[in-house]
């Protein structure tokens, strides 16, 4: 285990150093790596791939009795915060969506050294993410009725077993731990023999250097870094970055990406990799 990944700021500085070194090297060798403006060039594949490289975090959770649950907190599988302005979303047929999770961006900022606008990021299945600004979140606005009640039995295919709680309880996110560096795989799609050896070494240095934490975490859920793209390409989502990945079983997942704010608003998008 790399001791440098234990401290968030130290890990971010080390990762930034390696990323900048990679970008400098491909600039020095760009005559051999193709047109930077061509998304299919080796140059683009490397530069846009390491764009996603980040310190990756696992989240921890605890069971909370429903009678003590704070619906303004970070929760998995609901019930999630809803109000008249932000009611429980429905699909085109009027069927209420399933609550996957909500997380307070202030916790992400504190745990992961970020600068997201304060509020709640909510994920609903199938296929929706929404951001509720902190100024719109309050107990006075809270709708606490059947519209936000748990209905696990109605959505058996959506459940993640390691996130489930006993009847009468819910799972609240209560901590995070950095577990290494990660980014979408690049090297398997490149001819390593044609790349400088020191460039390959740096790419390997941040390629899924993940360790299993000694404490229990919520499996199938992580913040930042690699999104296990399978048949997806980092080019499909550039220049956004991964906020979180949650798994549906062994091979399927949902991805939440974010883009830097334009006009003062953060943009979050959801990609469903299938179930």
What's the whole-number mean pLDDT along residues 94-100?
Answer: 86
Nearest to 229 by CA among 237, 218, 217, 220: 237
Q: Judge whether 182 and 228 are in contact, CB under 8 Å.
A: no
The two structure tokens encoding residue 193? 């023999």
pLDDT at 3 over 60: no
CA distances from 196 to 35, 52, 200 (A): 18, 21, 6
Q: Judge whether 22 and 61 are in contact, CB under 8 Å.
A: no
pLDDT of residue 103: 96
Distance CA 145, CA 142 (A): 9
pLDDT tens string 110-168: 999 999 999 999 999 888 999 999 999 988 888 765 444 455 545 545 555 556 667 67
pLDDT of residue 139: 86
CATH of the domain at 163: 2.30.320
**Which residue's entry shows tokens 């975490």?**
217
Question: Greater confidence, 153 or 205?
Answer: 205
Q: Looking at residue 207, what DSSP letter applies?
A: S
pLDDT at 2 over 50: no
Across all residues in the chain, what is the average pLDDT? 82
What's the whole-number mean pLDDT along residues 42-71?
Answer: 89
Give the pLDDT band of residue 106 (cuts 50, 70, 90). Answer: very high
Percent composition of the chain: helix, strand, coil (DSSP 3-state, to 5): 30, 30, 40
Domain count, the chain: 1
CA distances from 183 to 17, 28, 48, 172 (A): 15, 22, 10, 27
Share of the chain above pLDDT 90, in %: 31
Distance CA 4, CA 24 (A): 23
CA distances from 235 to 17, 19, 156 (A): 23, 17, 33
H-only helix segments in the chain: 8-28, 30-33, 42-50, 105-112, 197-205
The two structure tokens encoding residue 162? 């390691």
Q: What is residue 43's three-state secondary structure?
A: helix
pLDDT of residue 154: 52
pLDDT of residue 160: 57
Query: Domain range for residue 9?
Result: 3-272
Distance CA 258, CA 117 (A): 12
The two structure tokens encoding residue 135? 């100024």
pLDDT tens string 207-264: 766 677 777 888 888 999 887 656 567 777 888 999 998 876 555 778 999 987 776 6
Residue 3, class by beta-carbon neighbours within 10 Å (0-12 exposed, 13-18 middle, 19+ buried)?
A: exposed
Which residues, 6+ apart, have CB-to-CB distance to 156 below 8 Å? Answer: none
């Amino acid at each position: 285990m790399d001791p440098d990944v234990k401290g968030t700021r130290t890990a971010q500085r080390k990762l930034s150093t390696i990323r900048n070194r990679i970008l400098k090297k491909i600039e020095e060798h760009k005559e051999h790596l193709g047109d930077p403006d061509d998304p299919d060039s080796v140059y683009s594949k490397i530069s846009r791939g390491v764009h996603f490289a980040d310190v990756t975090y696992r989240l921890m959770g605890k069971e909370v009795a429903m009678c003590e649950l704070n619906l303004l907190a970070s929760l998995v599988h609901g019930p999630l915060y809803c109000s008249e302005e932000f009611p429980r979303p429905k699909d085109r047929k009027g069927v209420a969506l399933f609550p996957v999770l909500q997380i307070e961006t202030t916790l992400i900022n504190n745990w992961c050294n970020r600068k997201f606008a304060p509020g709640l990021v909510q994920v609903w299945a199938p296929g929706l993410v929404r951001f509720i600004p902190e100024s719109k979140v309050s107990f006075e606005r809270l709708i606490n009725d059947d519209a936000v009640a748990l209905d696990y039995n109605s959505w058996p295919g959506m459940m993640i077993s390691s996130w489930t709680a006993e009847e009468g309880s819910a799972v609240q996110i209560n901590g995070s731990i950095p577990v290494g560096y990660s980014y979408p795989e690049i090297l398997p799609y490149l001819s390593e023999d044609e790349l400088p050896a020191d460039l390959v070494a740096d790419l390997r240095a941040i390629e899924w250097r993940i360790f299993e934490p000694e404490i229990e975490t919520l499996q199938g859920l992580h913040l930042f870094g690699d999104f296990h793209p399978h048949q997806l390409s980092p080019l499909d989502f550039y220049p956004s970055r991964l906020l979180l990945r949650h798994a549906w079983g062994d091979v399927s997942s949902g991805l939440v990406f974010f883009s830097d704010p334009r006009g003062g608003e953060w943009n979050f998008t959801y990609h469903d990799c299938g179930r």
